[in-house]
Amino acid sequence: MTRSVLVILILTAAGALIAVGVVEGKGKEYRSTVQVRSATADATCLYFTCPQPVSTAQGNPYVLDQVNAILSPALAAQVAKRVPPVTTSKLLANVCANEIGQSATINVCYTAASPHDAETIASAYAKQYVTWSNQQAVTSLNGLLGSMNYTLGTLTPDAATGLRGLDLKQQMDLVKAAITAFKANDGPNGAKIFGTDVNNQARTVRSTASPAKAGAIGAAAGLVLAIGLLLILPPLIRRPGSDDGSDDDRPSSGTTASSEESLDLFTAPVDEPVR
């Protein structure tokens, strides 16, 4: 077996072993994802004309604000109450969320050491986000309802029983119905979890590579490195002029003798010329 083949085998095996060692040292990790529908505007915009957010290359600004809310310490503290004894700091270190394209759909994901933990906490995050978002809507609508009540109280008796008063009362009934719906996490244009059972919506995959896959990738990296060394740094692999690493390129004794004779020609005394 030549040195070139030996170098290739050693580096390929070393790459595979190192990759497997890194994966095993890190341990198994699983990522579970639940899709939720984000609110796309404040709940009061159902009854008033609100400026519509302009989507950018990053996505819908309002939906991106919802993503930031999912990743916030405030929501993590609320989720921690659902999944004790997991701490807020650990939740923040392992949660992820992102808008899908420029839609109102958000991927809520969580990474844990077991599929069960990943699914449980991802589902808890999705539920807590939907609850929080709908509570925000209820707060906005309660403020709107209070403003309507105040306006109704300022009307004269004739105006209150007239067309303006009746129209205002109809709007108030709609707002009250919306508040009831949002409290049940079913408000118009509100945040929701897709499907009927959040626990069945979680999609879980292993986020770290399997030892076999890691070994294959490491072996490929070692092979590439070995070939590169053979092509770029041949003096480190074999002696010049020798394919099998033999010492054929050493000078022979005859060559050494010739060199010594040549050296004698320069060191021998020179006779002075005859005058």
Residue 109 in domain: yes
pLDDT, average across residues 63-71: 96
Residue 271 in domain: no
Question: Looking at the 3D structure of the chain, how many domains does it have?
Answer: 2
Residue 135 in domain: yes
- The C-alpha atoms of residue 174 and residue 32 are separated, in whole angstroms, by 38
238 & 117 share domain: no
Residue in 66, 75, 69 with CA at minimum distance from that of residue 41: 66
pLDDT digits 0-9 by tens, 173-220: 999 999 999 999 999 889 998 866 665 678 888 865 455 665 577 667
**Lookup: tokens for 168:** 């205002």
17 & 36 share domain: no
Confidence (pLDDT) at 49: 80
Residues paired with residue 95 on neighbouring β-strands, in sequence order: 110
Residue 162 in domain: yes
Residue 137 in domain: yes
Residue 130 in domain: yes
Whether the pTM exceeds 0.95: the reply is: no
Q: What is the mean pLDDT of the chain?
A: 79
**Lookup: tokens for 136:** 């925000």
Residue 36 in domain: yes
pLDDT digits 0-9 by tens, 98-126: 999 888 999 999 999 999 999 999 999 99
Where residue 223 falls among pLDDT bands split at 50, 70, 90? low
* Residues spanned by the domain of 221: 1-27+209-243
Amino acid in position 118: A
> For 38-52, 73-87, 111-125, 166-180, which range has the lowest pLDDT when averaged over its residues?
38-52
99 & 32 share domain: yes
134 & 202 share domain: yes
pLDDT of 165 over the 50 cut: yes
Where residue 152 falls among pLDDT bands split at 50, 70, 90? very high
